[in-house]
């Protein structure tokens, strides 16, 4: 699905990612954990193609294509989805209109005709249920006046509508209460197939109780310093990040 | 990458910038009393109208060109360098479309304005009657007979002067007197044509009325007048569109629009202003100095202005409503876009005189490139205008960091029972919003279009359906390349 090799990236001349290596295969869920400032969000933004981030070295292959060579919208149309840590408000643009535009842009890219209104509405109904999103929110402006939990559920709703090959969930659990966390996790688990993949970025183990990863990676100071299975997350939860920091501090200096 | 898109779109040509090659009858440049007389004679006008023009010309001569108060920068206009009359040479009488120069028909076809009624009857948008004004004259007004059956008069101003002189004499200058301001005085002296519309008592105008203004000739100014009279209990929706060729020189457009609404009447006036804005360095473009004002004379009357301003190098325009009748309503919905080196100073005046009068102002400014965009509005509640209400919302959206947005609200309240609310916001089109849209698969242009249309939604919703679609496209084109 995606192969990241020796990825270096900087913001305003400051190197944040210092050589990331990661391979996510079809049907796998990878969790990336790490303390604040370790580069988790930078990684997701670089993969999605945000302009402020400069890739200085390395390569990323997405379904056999050079991901870094694509514009952000092309990456999206190729099937990469980023669930934002802080979803953005777009006043005056209804959620439904936004999604219809996005979906039809993707279909056009795939050489398909725009979706019939009837089919589109049926799809909206179906996917809304998945994340228990109030039908009214569909007609409201994108994320405007949504609560924190509604915004996160709306991200998963959009993901469900766009049916990506690879979804990156950037701290989707932050700011969610237990119920919302369960709803989001259920949504993801229902959408999970043998053919799509997830990169779940999180601080905490608790999300991984619901979305069970195949692999867990610990990101520290711009590098993946440790990889393992889901047990690694539990270990990390027990010991805290300090242990990791101590262990790898010397290397990073 | 970003720069490439920018280059590509900034270099994109103004789509309506073509020039029609046609024989014209054009006055030599210059302005004096003889020109005013010649113009009046050319149009075979009654003596009272010549007197009116001369009076206005004298008033204009004594006025000073306004210089400092508007937030605009442009060189002094040399009024003697302008020709005040240019008309396509035509056959003696235009009785049917066959006699209209095919070049002119082609021009309007090219602009998407069909002057052939049959075509319009079958096609989309058949329900609009059009008065097409080319330089100084009206070329053709469609559906006049159909409208006449209902008693609706819709014709060019010149024809109205000949055929309904009593109406013109009664109403012209009633809302915008010839001494009103510098450009209104100039217009009163040298106006060449425009549209006249009268809706009789109790009639709901069966179709949208529309005037399409086209400047073609070089070195000329366009000075037209529009006069709309809605008698008691009548309703009309009026549309105005305009374009001009792409020229290196600046051309002056100084129009006057007057609307009179009697008891229980409603007039909805929508404009999509798309005069040539000049090139990316600010060369060329129309100077648009327009006085638009309506008066709600009767009780329960309503006048609503909706404008989408994307064109002109300089825009100076304040469509206003005098709320004289009790319970009368004035509305102003505006989207003003400036890009490159364009400058706009636009807004409204709501003058509350009657009791229980209400006004709403929704202004959405969008500035891009190196442009300056100002909202200037007055809400005046006079003594005795009990329970007057106003709500104003002025939003500015900035694209990039080289442009400016300014808000100049003036509020004068002389009656204690008034409730006046004013809200203003300034926002920047966010990199975050753009990235969010792109991450969902929208390219830059689509994303900008979506965000801008969302921002203008309250105003675009007020436009008649077909116009709204047109306006959305125009917004997208006007802002193409404004975000790299």
The helix or strand, by DSSP H or E, that contains position A33, with its residue range, turns out to be strand A29-33
Residue B24 has pLDDT above 80, yes or no: no
Using an 8 Å CB-CB cutoff, list chain B residues near A162.
440-441
Rounded to a whole number, what is the distance in Å from the CA of A48 to chain B's nearest CA? 7
Is pLDDT larger for residue B261 or for residue B1? B261
Model pLDDT for residues A232-244, shown as the tens digit of each residue: 888 888 888 887 7
Rounded to a whole number, what is the distance in Å from the CA of B447 to chain A's nearest CA? 10
Mean pLDDT is lowest, of B1-5, B86-90, B235-239, B409-413, for: B1-5
Q: How far apart are CA B219 and CA B128, in angstroms?
A: 32
Mean pLDDT is lowest, of B75-89, B291-305, B379-393, for: B75-89
Q: How far apart are CA B444 and CA B5, in angstroms?
A: 9
Mean pLDDT is lowest, of A51-55, B22-26, B254-258, B263-267, for: B22-26
Mean pLDDT of chain B: 83
Whether A2 contacts chain B with CB within 8 A: no
Please state, as a whole number, how many other Cβ atoms lie within 10 Å of the Cβ of residue B351: 22
Residue B97 has pLDDT above 60, yes or no: no
Instruction: Work out the pLDDT band at B90, boundaries 50, 70, 90.
Output: low
Contact B421, B392 (CB under 8 A): yes
Model pLDDT for residues A168-225, shown as the tens digit of each residue: 999 988 888 888 888 889 989 999 999 999 999 998 888 898 899 999 999 999 999 9
Contact B200, B234 (CB under 8 A): yes
Mean pLDDT of chain A: 90
Instruction: Work out the pLDDT band at A251, boundaries 50, 70, 90.
Output: low
Q: Do B439 and A93 touch (CB under 8 A)?
A: no
- Preferred mutation among A11, A99, A101, A170 to probe B, highest tally of B CBs within 10 A: A101
Burial class (CB in 10 A: 0-12, 13-18, 19+), A63: middle
According to DSSP, residue B82 is labeled S
Task: Output the CA–CA distances (angstroms, integers) from residue B74 to A88, B134, B283, in the order listed.
Answer: 40, 26, 11
Helices (H), chain A: 40-48, 72-77, 95-109, 117-130, 148-162, 178-191, 206-210, 230-239, 241-252
Q: Do A51 and B435 touch (CB under 8 A)?
A: yes
Contact B403, B338 (CB under 8 A): yes
pLDDT above 90 coverage of chain B, percent = 39
- The pLDDT score that the predictor gives to residue B483 is 62
The helix or strand, by DSSP H or E, that contains position B34, with its residue range, turns out to be helix B33-42
Q: What is the mean pLDDT of residues B263-270?
A: 95
- The pLDDT score that the predictor gives to residue B16 is 67
Q: Is the ipTM of this complex over 0.90?
A: yes
Any residues with CB less than 8 A from the CB of B416 and at least 6 apart, and which? Answer: none
**For the range B467-475, what are the long-range contacts, defined as Cβ-Cβ under 8 Å and sequence gap of 24 or more?**
B467/B239, B467/B270, B467/B272, B470/B272, B471/B272, B471/B308, B471/B335, B474/B272, B474/B274, B474/B308, B474/B310, B475/B308, B475/B310, B475/B335, B475/B337, B475/B366, B475/B449
Whether B440 contacts chain A with CB within 8 A: yes
Q: Do B443 and A87 touch (CB under 8 A)?
A: no
Q: Do B433 and A109 touch (CB under 8 A)?
A: no
Residue B255 has pLDDT above 70, yes or no: yes
Contact B392, B361 (CB under 8 A): yes
- The pLDDT score that the predictor gives to residue B126 is 47
Is pLDDT larger for residue B81 or for residue B116? B81
| Window 19-48 of A, Cβ < 8 Å to B | 48
Residue B214 has pLDDT above 50, yes or no: yes
Using an 8 Å CB-CB cutoff, list chain A residues near B446.
101, 105
Instruction: Work out the pLDDT band at B220, boundaries 50, 70, 90.
Output: confident
Assign residue B300 a region (left: φ > 0; alpha: ψ between -120 and 50; beta: otherwise): left
The helix or strand, by DSSP H or E, that contains position B223, with its residue range, turns out to be none
Tokens read off for A251: 């290397």
Rounded to a whole number, what is the distance in Å from the CA of B477 to chain A's nearest CA? 18
Is pLDDT larger for residue B48 or for residue A251? B48
Task: Output the CA–CA distances (angstroms, integers) from residue B303 to A218, B236, B363, B451, in the order listed.
Answer: 65, 10, 16, 29
- The pLDDT score that the predictor gives to residue B100 is 63
Residue B441 has pLDDT above 90, yes or no: yes
Mean pLDDT is lowest, of A168-177, B276-285, B419-428, for: B276-285
According to DSSP, residue B81 is labeled G
Is pLDDT larger for residue B35 or for residue B3? B35
Q: Do B441 and A90 touch (CB under 8 A)?
A: no
Tokens read off for B143: 């559906």
Rounded to a whole number, what is the distance in Å from the CA of B451 to chain A's nearest CA? 7
- The pLDDT score that the predictor gives to residue B9 is 38
- Scanning every residue of chain A, which has its alpha carbon at the shortest distance from the alpha carbon of B435? A50
Residue A86 has pLDDT above 70, yes or no: yes
Whether B455 contacts chain A with CB within 8 A: yes
pLDDT above 90 coverage of chain A, percent = 66
Q: What is the mean pLDDT of residues B192-220?
A: 84
Please state, as a whole number, how many other Cβ atoms lie within 10 Å of the Cβ of residue B350: 25
Rounded to a whole number, what is the distance in Å from the CA of B460 to chain A's nearest CA? 11
> Could you say which of A75, A84, A90 has the minimum Cβ distance to residue B451?
A90
> Could you say which of B439, B451, B458 has the minimum Cβ distance to residue A48?
B439
Contact A222, A15 (CB under 8 A): yes
Three-class secondary structure of residue B193 per DSSP: strand
Q: What is the CATH number of domain A27-47+71-252?
A: 3.40.50.300
Q: How far apart are CA A123 and CA B203, in angstroms?
A: 47
Chain CA centroid to CA B373, Å: 17
- The pLDDT score that the predictor gives to residue B5 is 36
Model pLDDT for residues B155-183, shown as the tens digit of each residue: 889 999 999 999 999 999 999 999 999 99
Residue B204 has pLDDT above 50, yes or no: yes
Q: How far apart are the first and last CA of chain A?
A: 33
Using an 8 Å CB-CB cutoff, list chain B residues near A98.
437, 440, 450
Show me where the domains of chain A are located. 27-47+71-252
> Could you say which of B432, B443, B444 has the minimum Cβ distance to residue A88?
B432
Instruction: Work out the pLDDT band at A250, boundaries 50, 70, 90.
Output: low
Q: What is the mean pLDDT of residues B266-272?
A: 92
Whether A200 contacts chain B with CB within 8 A: no
Q: How far apart are CA B130 and CA B113, in angstroms?
A: 8
Residue B323 has pLDDT above 90, yes or no: yes
Using an 8 Å CB-CB cutoff, list chain A residues near B447.
73
Whether A102 contacts chain B with CB within 8 A: yes
- The pLDDT score that the predictor gives to residue B245 is 65
Instruction: Work out the pLDDT band at B470, boundaries 50, 70, 90.
Output: confident
Q: How far apart are CA B20 and CA B316, in angstroms?
A: 27
Rounded to a whole number, what is the distance in Å from the CA of B6 to chain A's nearest CA? 15
- Scanning every residue of chain B, which has its alpha carbon at the shortest distance from the alpha carbon of A110? B441
- The pLDDT score that the predictor gives to residue B13 is 58
pLDDT above 70 coverage of chain A, percent = 98
Whether A87 contacts chain B with CB within 8 A: yes
- The pLDDT score that the predictor gives to residue B313 is 85
Task: Output the CA–CA distances (angstroms, integers) from residue A39 to A15, A202, B14, in the order listed.
Answer: 10, 12, 46
Residue A29 has pLDDT above 60, yes or no: yes
Burial per residue of B165-203, b for 16 or more beta-carbon CB atoms within 10 angstroms, e otherwise: eebbeebbbebbebbbbbbbbbbbbbbbbbbbbbbbeeb
- The pLDDT score that the predictor gives to residue B448 is 86
For tokens 């919703």, what's the residue?
A: B461
Q: What is the mean pLDDT of residues B7-34?
A: 67
| Window 376-415 of B, Cβ < 8 Å to A | none
Tokens read off for B46: 């009654």
Is pLDDT larger for residue B474 or for residue B99? B474
Three-class secondary structure of residue B221 per DSSP: coil
Three-class secondary structure of residue B406 per DSSP: strand
Query: In sequence order, what are the beta bridge partners of B292?
Result: B257
Helices (H), A78-147: 95-109, 117-130
Residue B187 has pLDDT above 50, yes or no: yes
């Amino acid at each position: 699905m995606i192969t990241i090799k020796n990825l270096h990236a900087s913001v305003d001349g400051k190197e944040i990612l210092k050589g990331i290596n990661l391979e996510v295969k079809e049907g796998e869920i990878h969790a990336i954990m790490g303390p604040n400032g370790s580069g988790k969000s930078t990684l997701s933004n670089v993969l999605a193609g945000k302009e402020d981030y400069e890739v200085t070295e390395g390569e990323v292959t997405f379904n056999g294509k050079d991901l870094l060579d694509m514009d952000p919208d092309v990456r999206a149309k190729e099937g990469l989805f980023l669930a934002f840590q802080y979803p953005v408000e777009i006043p005056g643009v209804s959620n439904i209109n936004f999604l219809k535009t996005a979906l039809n842009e993707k279909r056009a890219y795939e050489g398909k005709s725009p979706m019939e209104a009837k089919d589109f509405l049926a799809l909206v109904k179906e996917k809304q249920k998945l994340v228990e999103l109030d039908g009214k929110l569909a007609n409201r402006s994108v994320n405007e006046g949504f609560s924190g939990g509604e915004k996160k559920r709306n991200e998963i709703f959009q993901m469900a509508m766009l049916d990506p090959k690879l979804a990156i969930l950037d701290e989707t659990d932050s700011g969610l209460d237990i119920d919302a966390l369960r709803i989001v996790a259920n949504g993801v688990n229902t959408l999970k197939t043998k053919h799509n993949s997830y990169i779940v970025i999180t601080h905490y183990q608790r999300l991984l109780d619901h979305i069970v990863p195949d692999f867990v990676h610990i990101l520290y100071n711009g590098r993946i310093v440790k990889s393992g299975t889901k047990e690694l997350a539990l270990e990390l939860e027990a010991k805290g990040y300090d242990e990791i920091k101590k262990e790898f501090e010397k290397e990073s200096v | 990458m970003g720069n490439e898109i920018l280059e590509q779109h900034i270099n994109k040509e103004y789509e309506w910038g073509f020039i029609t090659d046609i024989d014209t009858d054009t006055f030599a440049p210059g302005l004096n009393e003889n020109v005013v007389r010649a113009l009046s004679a050319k149009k075979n006008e009654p003596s009272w109208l010549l007197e009116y023009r001369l009076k206005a010309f004298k008033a204009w001569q004594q006025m000073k060109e306004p210089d400092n108060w508007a937030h605009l920068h442009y060189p002094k206009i040399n009024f003697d360098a302008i020709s005040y009359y240019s008309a396509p040479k035509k056959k003696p009488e235009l009785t049917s479309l066959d006699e209209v120069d095919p070049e002119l028909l082609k021009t309007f076809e090219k602009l998407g304005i069909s002057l052939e009624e049959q075509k319009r009857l079958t096609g989309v948008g058949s329900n609009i009657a059009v008065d097409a004004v080319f330089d100084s004259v009206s070329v053709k007004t469609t559906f006049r007979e159909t409208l006449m059956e209902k008693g609706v008069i819709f014709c060019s101003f010149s024809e109205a002067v000949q055929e309904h002189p009593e109406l013109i004499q009664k109403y012209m200058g009633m809302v915008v007197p010839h001494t009103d301001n510098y450009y209104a005085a100039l217009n009163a002296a040298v106006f060449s044509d425009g549209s006249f519309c009268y809706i009789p008592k109790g009639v709901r105008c069966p179709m949208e009325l529309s005037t399409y203004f086209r400047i073609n000739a070089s070195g000329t100014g366009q000075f037209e007048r529009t006069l709309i009279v809605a008698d008691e209990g009548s309703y009309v929706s009026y549309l105005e569109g305009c374009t001009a060729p792409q020229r290196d020189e600046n051309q002056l457009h100084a129009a006057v629009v007057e609307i009179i609404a009697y008891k229980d009447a409603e007039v909805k006036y929508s404009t999509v202003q798309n005069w040539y804005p000049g090139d990316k360095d600010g060369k060329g473009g129309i100077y648009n100095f327009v006085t638009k004002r309506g008066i709600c004379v009767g009780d329960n009357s309503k006048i609503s202005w909706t404008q989408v301003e994307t064109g002109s190098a300089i825009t100076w325009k304040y469509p206003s409503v005098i709320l004289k009748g009790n319970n009368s309503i004035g509305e102003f919905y505006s989207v003003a876009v400036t890009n490159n080196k364009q400058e706009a100073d636009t807004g409204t005046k709501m003058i509350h005189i009657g009791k229980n009068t209400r006004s709403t102002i929704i202004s959405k400014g969008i500035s891009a490139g190196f442009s300056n965009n100002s909202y200037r509005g007055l809400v005046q509640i006079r003594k005795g205008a009990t329970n007057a209400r106003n709500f104003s919302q002025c939003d500015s959206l900035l694209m990039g960091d080289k442009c400016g947005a300014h808000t100049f609200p003036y509020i004068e309240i002389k009656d204690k029972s008034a409730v006046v609310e004013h809200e203003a916001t300034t926002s920047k089109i966010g990199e975050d919003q753009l990235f969010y849209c792109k991450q969902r698969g929208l390219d830059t242009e689509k994303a900008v279009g979506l965000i801008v249309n969302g921002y203008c939604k309250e105003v675009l919703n007020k436009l008649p359906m077909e116009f709204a679609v047109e306006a959305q496209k125009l917004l997208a084109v006007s802002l193409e390349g404004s975000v790299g």
